[in-house]
Amino acid sequence: MKEFELIKHYFSEQIVKRKDVVKGIGDDCAVIAPIENQNIVVTTDTLVAGVHFPLTTCPRAIGHKAVAVNLSDIAAMGAKPSWISLALTLPEVDEAWLAEFCAGVFELCEFYNVELIGGDTTQGPLSITITAQGLTPVNSYLSRSGAKTGDWIYVTGELGDAALALQQIKGEVSIEEHFVESIQTKLDFPKPKVLAGQVIREYASSAIDISDGLIADLGHICQASNVGANIVLDALPLSNALRESLLEDDAIALALAGGDDYELLFTVSEDNKVGMETALSNSGTKITCIGQLNASQTISTTLNNKPVPINSVGFEHFSQS
């Protein structure tokens, strides 16, 4: 199957057909007509086989995750996802693999009313690059730079399960059988917190999605906002799988630095705290307050009201040898 046959067969037919897409797949460029009085937010993420997902990962999960990690960035801006483009590099054309990969891509696109509007295919080591775009009302979006001293730090969901699943795959930890499926799902099929992002847009002072690990991503907020933070380790939302599979210190370390959670980390002022908690409760989103910002410009942690050192920094895209 040649390139354009591949594109037509696997990527041109999709359920989502948005009214704001004037011309989608099949031309030199897509043409979109954004809604008046809306900002467009744009993000791009690349997943490389063996780096961002294990080589044994099923193609459906790869397709799902490639879309999910981009929509998670859109969620962190408080935006509503609208369109994606896909650049897919394949070692060879494997039609069974492609069918499952596309099922993962389009399943998530359909759920969030996102249309695939173009991209590219080429031959080489397996990698997937997606550019996602979303919409927010004019001048109404979240960023990393709005946090203030005294703001409270929140996260959605639970932390550390995806990293635990990766350790289990590598044979570094033994997990009880009844936990394996749930943590593997967290790793392979993350759920971007799109609705939560749109809700907190009205309340939060800053936000980021947790992809590289809590400490690393909180560090981005602190740097952009020129603040410091203290995390209360006792408050970290840990699953039963994490608590029962690891010693306390190891469980906390994964929650702080494991990465691949794709939960939202955000800050809220004292005045907006109650309104935000009520709004998210009504949306069915689980949140946890894990600390508070300060003027120190450093990140500290406490356990049982006592300071403890931080030994984990999170995922590094370019580690030094």
Residues 252 and 232: their CA atoms lie apart, in Å, by 11
Annotated binding residues, written as ranges, equal 28, 43-45, 52, 73, 119-120, 144, 209, 211-212, 260, 315
Contact (Cβ atoms closer than 8 angstroms) between residue 304 and residue 234: yes
Residues 212 and 214: their CA atoms lie apart, in Å, by 7
Residue with tokens 């469980």: 251
The structure tokens listed for 20 are 């704001």
Annotated binding residues for substrate, written as ranges, equal 52, 260, 315
CB neighbours of residue 150 within 10 Å: 13
Reference 87, options 112, 116, 114, 59; nearest CA is 116
Annotated binding residues for Mg(2+), written as ranges, equal 28, 43-45, 73, 120, 209, 212
Reference 63, options 10, 20, 17, 16; nearest CA is 10
- Pairing verdict, β 299-303 and 228-232: parallel
Burial 4-13 (b: 16+ CB within 10 A, else e): eebbeebbee
* CA-based torsion, 264, 130, 59, 25: positive or negative: positive
- Pairing verdict, β 287-294 and 228-232: antiparallel
Burial 50-74 (b: 16+ CB within 10 A, else e): eebbeeebebbbbbbbbbbbbbbbb
Annotated binding residues for ATP, written as ranges, equal 119-120, 144, 211
> 206 forms bridges with which residues in the sheet?
267
| DSSP secondary structure, 25-83, as one string | TTSSS-EE-PPTTEEEEEEEEEEEBTTTB-TT--HHHHHHHHHHHHHHHHHHTTPEEEE
